[in-house]
Structure 1
Amino acid sequence: MANGKQQNAVPSPRIHQLSIQKVFDGLSQNERLYAHHMSRAAWHGTRIILRQVSPESLGIYDFIMELYTCCAGDWKSVANEVQITSNELYAFLEYAATFLSNIGNYYGSGDQKFVPNLNIESLKKLATKSPKLKALYDEIAEPMLSTPPFSLGYPGDLAQSAYYPGPCIISKDEIALVSQALEGRLVFPENTRIRRVESAGTTFEVLQASVEKDEISQEFPLPDSKGIVRMHRGDHSQELARICSSLAAASNYAANETQREFLAQYIESFQTGSLHAYRDSQRTWIRDKAPRVENIFGFVEPYRDPHGTRAEFEGLVAISDTEETKALTKLVENSATFIKKLPWAEGTKENDEKGPFEKALFEPPDFASIHTLAYCSSIIFPGINLPNYNDIRQECGFKNVIISNRMSAESKKGDVCPFIDESEAETFQKHKYPAYYWWVVLHELLGHGTGKMMVQESEHKYNFDISNPPINPLTGEPIKSYYAPGQTWTGQFGDLATTVDECRAELVGAYLMDDEDLLELFGYTDGSDITAEDLTYNVYLQLGVDGLRGLQNFNIDDGKWGQAHSRAHFAMLKCLLTDGGGFMTIECSPSEQRLLVRVDRSKVVTHGKPALGSMLLRLHMYRCTADVTECRKYYEELSRVDGEYLEWRKIVLAKNQPKWVFVQANTFLDGDEVTLKEYEPTIEGVVQSWAEREV
């Protein structure tokens, strides 16, 4: 499968089954019914995500589903009937499985377009199976097979974004102006898209996701008075109606009143388009402690919006594992101890030794190990911390989950990492999973869960002493900036918000991964099979590897990063290389197309950790004080790809490794009985699982 200009051939995907049968069998009949209807609600979001990815994604999805229907899953008969080779059929199925797993024709991780390793004539032959296929072929063939666009991003010659649909290109400045106009009217952007309309004047249509429709709900001028904004409700109306219907059905089997309350709030938000109702749902959802069946719904993550504020729909339904959660509970109970060891708390007695840039009370969050039953998203994350609204996190708390049956993919032996020396390859693989697991745990709990934003809440009300502002540890002077009323983290930091937030969380996890008391909680000491020092060393090796791998998601054509985490990982690598006193180096041999990460084990704590701590403190302070200017100056330089890094990128691309494709189960309702069906971890199994979802 190809994925655009200057990209080497992508190896066949590695397919991982998100196994769920064992934990599903432990549910009561009522819990199964709740899980089934919630899962149906999640999967009904598929077509919303497709519409958010690219203009052609819905048509490609329908083409794959129609072809499956025409042959009833008997793929060999298709090859014989339309006279294509088995290799050509395999190439199409490989593309189909990758497309379905990513819910669109751009990788969920990286946002790069991928196209099938199939010529247009073979695709045309497949389309002869039915009149519907022929009509879909005419619609999708050209955009499905062509590059550019190469990636998602601000609309232009090289990139596209379905958050800004239509033939009329909208500029960055225009997006910012419309966003400013929405913010001024307290309209949250997460469930919107913006379309530029050519008319007598400059008109921008804001498409708001809701079941209810109206031609124009509001009309107002842009801040510069050079155009108007028209609000249109009813985007994704049909899909949201199906989601609401399934949520209403699930409410009949809810375990408690809290679940019924947030389901009603979900429905109100999806019906009306109100994100104020959605924010209420998040406050209620946080109160649903330790549910047997957990969920995440809504327009959640803004990773794919180039402007950094509009969010992709997401639906997750999962089953908690009580035994696995016990180990996480231990960490949660001791959280306050480790927060005091973070750079902004070191050396202070204020706020119970946590300092002024940390919440006074760290409310122990709900932290569960869960197994996903239905995860409708372009990225299957290994861990999640929500809600994404920082004011709600500070006022009400948050939840963390580790998705165990997704994390298990990291324990697979797979290919040897090409960036680790052969002499270390075996031990790196042995230590990788436990190091990665606990790094993710710390990322979610103490990375996303810490910090206090300096906020002016109203005209004369602040959440800090404005007459005696706290001292900024970066400058030694009182803070000079903070969030004004109505301002938010994503609204102020825009395209930097998600990548800086993820980078900060990754840094917190890595920074603490040498703490002996912390590692002992996890069962790692000097005497364990994998020692505490082994685990720490592996994390730093992974920092180097992830930083190199991140380069594959940097687009040299427009100088933009395609993925928030990739940019964060590269910035961390660059920090360690430039500020780590030589403790980490990258050995590069262009002639042998080789890059190797070298870490001096003796300097991890003395040089590596201080470098990470310095970077972490900067990002934390920029974030807490709304200092966008300094953050942009620092982070853009640290994540700049030039000089030797461009040479490294070429080698990284030449070492392309298989990407994960996930196959998930389905539930079916027969009367009051719910049955579970799992599918083989094959490309055929992936396609069958989606066909049987009937969405």
Structure 2
Amino acid sequence: MLIQSAAFNGSRVILRQVSPESETIYDLILSVYSSSKGDWAKLASDVSVSKENLDHFLAYAAQFLGNLGNYKGFGDSKFIPRCPKDTIIALASGDEKAKALSEKCVDAIYEAKPGLMHLGFPEEGHMTNYYPDSPDISQSEIEEIDRFTGEKGLLPENTRIKKLKDGNFEILIASGITNPPPQQIDTKDHSWTLPNGRKVSLVFGDHQEELAKAAIHMKLAAKHAANDTEKAMLAEYAKSYSTGSLLAFKESQKLWVDNVGPAVETNIGFIETYRDPAGVRAEWEGLVAIVNKEQTRKFKRLVDAAPEALPKLPWGKNFEKDEFQPPDFTSLEVLSFPSSGIPVGINIPNYDDIRQTHGFKNVSLANILSAKAPSEPIPFIAPADLALYTANRDTAFEIQVGLHELLGHGSGKLLQETSPGNFNFDRASPPISPITNKPVETWYKPGETWSSVFGAVSSSYEECRAECVAMSLACDFDIAKIFGLDTTPRDGSDDAMDSPAGDVLYASYLSMARAGVASLEFFSPEAGKWGQAHMQARFSILKAFLGAGDGFCVLETTPNPNPSGAGAGFDDITIKLDKAKILTHGKKAVDAYLRKLHTYKSTADVVAGKKLYEEMTAPEPRGYWIEGVRPCVLRRKVARKVFVMGSTRLNEGKGKEEGDGEVELVEYEASVEGMIRSWAERGI
């Protein structure tokens, strides 16, 4: 309960990271709920709002709470209510607090300037609140500050940057106190002067109230820790939230890795950098989950097989870690996960120095992976493949997530000059690049990291590399056996592709191709940018499939019968993928792409890496992808799920001290009303 409270206390942090209006919209939704006392129909009747417009408002409110902001957590594009502005004004009219909140934010809710429909850099007219009240801050200024302060030892994940009217800058550090003790601050200095003469100052206390509460809850939780490692981990969390020290947070992550096989798994803080346009600042998230022991046993077998699987990847030993450190890999049932969107799997910590020398953990979120709406449509799959695909997609996805997290994100070595004159490879006889067949000429210099070198593209690039690892190793039938699949060919055949395991592999490749087609929903032609890292990656893998040749993968398109309509595009798209050519053509194409992705990452070859990735993720020719495929995708898109999370509460009178007594799980109906009620009753 205490850990869950710490996680949810960061919800307002997420809202503030999205847009200036998000926190006000959140308060408005909860105030309207409070004034209605949960009787939405009566409220609508009292203020003369139609049932249709009430339903539209409730749907908007549920989507807002599911994404913790008015921009999609998966896609980074703004969503606007289908009900008119007057509906929100009317629903808020019966309560003074709600009325004041609606007046403050209703115009922003409906603002639809093209640039503000997407998250991105302010100088491009896009929305971000990682740089609050700084409309004229430029991308080059952000990069200069990050580069300069990075050299001073300041980590960026829990920061925001504010440009002042005099041209100087403040770095806002998330912390529960505004004046941490000097020995608990990550840098020796509080301010610096940039080479151009402008000043950069540290300001502690961003999100002060929320971080202070999270720190208190972690301190209380430490009293109930299962072991000394867990107790130390929770203490480091509390220290980080209180002081803003990311060095303390890194210590918590090392201890988290060391805390093997806990019954309750948690990781809370500033974790993923997907939504910062600069790709370095992280969004708050808070995983609290219970271990699924049966599924975890399967993943344990995959971990055990990793040393034999890694050499099968398409690069030499010089580009792989010197020693594979077996991680803890668990299957979890999520209790709560306040964030802008819940993933199906996680591989963390994201700090490469910890991953390379200390290790990492993988988790698969079983109840998220298996969640499906009744009669959910499946566009773009051929009718002849639909039964096989439906029967095998869950197993295929389970294997894909496992390989993606463990051997995708968990593989690879960064060639580094770890300190001046010291290298983690033989500098006198450098490794031979599998791309050029010549000694490597680039590597990471002291203080450089993967994300600092590759910048905004790093998140999507790494997701693509991990997905390619999964697609490559899914072709290994020894791995299929780990997951209990039968690799025996049917009907006297000697081809393993004719086995149940072959069906799962086929479903896996179909699933990736379908995701690549559907990904175009997340590309904005107006902004010329992708809004979601994973979908950008999957589009590029689809292009690799299509480029495999010999008819391995083809998109069959049906012309639109009304081609003159605006944005008509194709009427339908069907994926035709040759099952018999997965091992000969599909895997070969994936391996060729993966070899380049991995080598460029390993050697810090940002020029070649960015060039490759930009070419592979460009939806060109535009007439085909943007004017033909994308309109069809938008017409046939399936609504993304939002998850109603339970709450925990202490039964009254059961304990004198907070944290003692019987804890009760409170669950809510899987509906828009249940979603709103769940957040209202948390009182965050």
TM-score scaled by structure 2? Answer: 0.93
Instruction: Find the residue that maps to 1:591 and give its secondary structure.
Output: coil
Measured against aligned partners, the alpha-carbon deviations of 1:213-233 in whole angstroms (never above 9, x if no partner) come to 15997221223x142212111
> How well do the aligned residues superpose, as a CA RMSD in angstroms?
1.6
Residue 408 in structure 1 maps to residue 370 in structure 2: yes
Instruction: Find the residue that maps to 1:542 and give its secondary structure.
Output: helix
Contact 1:455 1:482 in 2 (8 A): yes
- Counterpart of 1:645 in structure 2: which amino acid? W
Residue 479 in structure 1 maps to residue 440 in structure 2: yes
Q: Residues 482, 369 of structure 1: CA spacing in aligned structure 2 closer, same or farther, 3 A cutoff? A: same
Residue 243 in structure 1 maps to residue 214 in structure 2: yes
The partner residue of 1:660 within 641, 653, 669 is 641
Partner of 2:163: 196
The partner residue of 1:589 within 544, 550, 558 is 558
- Counterpart of 1:309 in structure 2: which amino acid? V
Measured against aligned partners, the alpha-carbon deviations of 1:467-489 in whole angstroms (never above 9, x if no partner) come to 11111111111111111111111
Partner of 1:313: 284
Residue 327 in structure 1 maps to residue 292 in structure 2: no
Residue 682 in structure 1 maps to residue 671 in structure 2: yes
Once residues 511 and 423 of structure 2 are traced to their aligned partners in structure 1, the CA distance between those partners, rounded to angstroms, is 41
Contact 1:152 1:161 in 2 (8 A): yes
Partner of 1:27: none
Contact 2:123 2:135 in 1 (8 A): no
Once residues 329 and 251 of structure 2 are traced to their aligned partners in structure 1, the CA distance between those partners, rounded to angstroms, is 21
Unpaired runs of 5+ in structure 1? 1-35, 346-354
Partner of 1:278: 249
Partner of 1:615: 593
- Counterpart of 1:370 in structure 2: which amino acid? L
Partner of 2:514: 545
Once residues 602 and 517 of structure 2 are traced to their aligned partners in structure 1, the CA distance between those partners, rounded to angstroms, is 29
Partner of 1:336: 307
Partner of 1:604: 582
Shift of 1:271: 1.2
Measured against aligned partners, the alpha-carbon deviations of 1:600-637 in whole angstroms (never above 9, x if no partner) come to 11211111111000111111111111111100111001
Once residues 649 and 227 of structure 1 are traced to their aligned partners in structure 2, the CA distance between those partners, rounded to angstroms, is 45
Shift of 1:528: 8.9
Once residues 62 and 176 of structure 1 are traced to their aligned partners in structure 2, the CA distance between those partners, rounded to angstroms, is 34
Partner of 2:172: 207
Partner of 2:480: 519
Once residues 125 and 135 of structure 2 are traced to their aligned partners in structure 1, the CA distance between those partners, rounded to angstroms, is 15
Unpaired runs of 5+ in structure 2? 491-498, 562-570, 655-660
Residue 645 in structure 1 maps to residue 610 in structure 2: no
Contact 1:576 1:611 in 2 (8 A): yes
The partner residue of 2:258 within 287, 294, 307 is 287
- Counterpart of 1:274 in structure 2: which amino acid? S
Partner of 1:220: 192
Q: Residues 334, 103 of structure 1: CA spacing in aligned structure 2 closer, same or farther, 3 A cutoff? A: same
- Counterpart of 2:245 in structure 1: which amino acid? S
Partner of 2:529: 560
Once residues 590 and 301 of structure 1 are traced to their aligned partners in structure 2, the CA distance between those partners, rounded to angstroms, is 41
- Counterpart of 1:378 in structure 2: which amino acid? S
Partner of 2:388: 427
Once residues 269 and 414 of structure 1 are traced to their aligned partners in structure 2, the CA distance between those partners, rounded to angstroms, is 45
Shift of 1:377: 0.8
Q: Residues 158, 590 of structure 1: CA spacing in aligned structure 2 closer, same or farther, 3 A cutoff? A: farther
- Counterpart of 1:335 in structure 2: which amino acid? A
Contact 2:176 2:207 in 1 (8 A): yes
Contact 1:587 1:596 in 2 (8 A): yes
Instruction: Find the residue that maps to 2:271 and give its secondary structure.
Output: strand
Shift of 1:172: 1.0
Identity %: 40
Partner of 2:240: 269
Shift of 1:413: 5.4
Measured against aligned partners, the alpha-carbon deviations of 1:410-455 in whole angstroms (never above 9, x if no partner) come to 5x55323111122222221111111011101110010011111101
Contact 1:416 1:425 in 2 (8 A): no
Partner of 1:397: 359
Partner of 2:657: none
Shift of 1:167: 4.7
| Matching of residues 372-521 of structure 1 within 5 Å | 372-410=334-372, 414-521=375-482
Shift of 1:580: 4.0
Once residues 680 and 528 of structure 1 are traced to their aligned partners in structure 2, the CA distance between those partners, rounded to angstroms, is 45
TM-score scaled by structure 1? Answer: 0.91
Shift of 1:639: 0.5
Residue 74 in structure 1 maps to residue 39 in structure 2: yes
- Counterpart of 1:72 in structure 2: which amino acid? K
Instruction: Find the residue that maps to 1:330 and give its secondary structure.
Output: helix
The partner residue of 2:94 within 129, 143, 151 is 129
Contact 2:481 2:487 in 1 (8 A): no
Shift of 1:341: 0.8
- Counterpart of 1:506 in structure 2: which amino acid? E
Once residues 213 and 318 of structure 2 are traced to their aligned partners in structure 1, the CA distance between those partners, rounded to angstroms, is 46
Shift of 1:493: 0.6
Contact 1:499 1:568 in 2 (8 A): yes
Once residues 643 and 549 of structure 2 are traced to their aligned partners in structure 1, the CA distance between those partners, rounded to angstroms, is 37
Partner of 1:29: none
